[in-house]
């Protein structure tokens, strides 16, 4: 369980975070101009935000279709039992699979929901039959293929955060 407290941020930090979420490659000079700071204090704030952990990393977002990953699939998994050790083992194995983009421990009928990206239905079948089904703790697997991605974003809604 994560017990990390939210970081205290002011309006300028908020503007910096919003700008960096939109464009992680923005130059410090441009960022400073956008948030009404000179470059040196702006860079110091960014470094503080990085050191605090609120900025985890910088990444390039790829287009899955152009990368040949046509299927976006939600897989719902029910385990036979929910012991701490069994949950940890399942999470470790599923997290090691490169096609697993997200994994959530859930409330409700299923224990886990994972999102996987696959090039085609044959790849999905092999993932389910060869990777998930043989896991001794897995009791039931249900999957749904997304027909269309209506909305996808990576920018957290920080506007509601009050400094």
Query: Model confidence over 23-51: pLDDT tens digits?
Result: 999 999 999 999 999 999 999 999 999 99
48: Cβ–Cβ under 8 A, 6 or more apart, which residues?
A: none
CA distances from 14 to 27, 65, 69 (A): 17, 33, 34
Domains of the chain in start order, with CATH, are 11-60 (1.10.10.10), 71-145 (3.30.70.920)
Query: 90 near 79, Cβ under 8 Å?
Result: yes
* pLDDT tens string 67-78: 999 999 999 999
C-alpha–C-alpha distance, residues 52 and 14, integer Å = 14
CA distance 78 to 137: 9
State the pTM of this model. Answer: 0.86
């Amino acid at each position: 369980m994560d017990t990390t407290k939210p970081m205290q941020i002011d309006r300028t930090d908020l503007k910096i975070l919003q700008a960096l979420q939109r464009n992680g490659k923005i130059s410090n000079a441009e960022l400073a101009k956008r948030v009404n700071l000179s470059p040196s204090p702006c860079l110091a704030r960014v470094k503080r935000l990085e050191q605090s952990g609120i900025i985890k990393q910088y990444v390039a977002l790829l287009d899955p279709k152009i990368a040949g990953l046509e299927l976006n699939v939600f897989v719902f998994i029910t385990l036979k039992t929910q012991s701490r050790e069994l949950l940890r083992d399942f999470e470790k194995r599923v997290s090691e699979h490169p096609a697993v983009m997200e994994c959530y421990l859930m409330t409700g009928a299923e224990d886990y929901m994972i999102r996987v990206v696959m090039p085609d239905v044959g790849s999905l079948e092999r993932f389910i039959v060869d990777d998930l089904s043989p896991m001794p703790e897995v009791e039931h697997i249900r999957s749904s293929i997304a027909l269309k991605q209506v909305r996808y974003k990576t920018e957290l809604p920080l506007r509601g955060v009050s400094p």
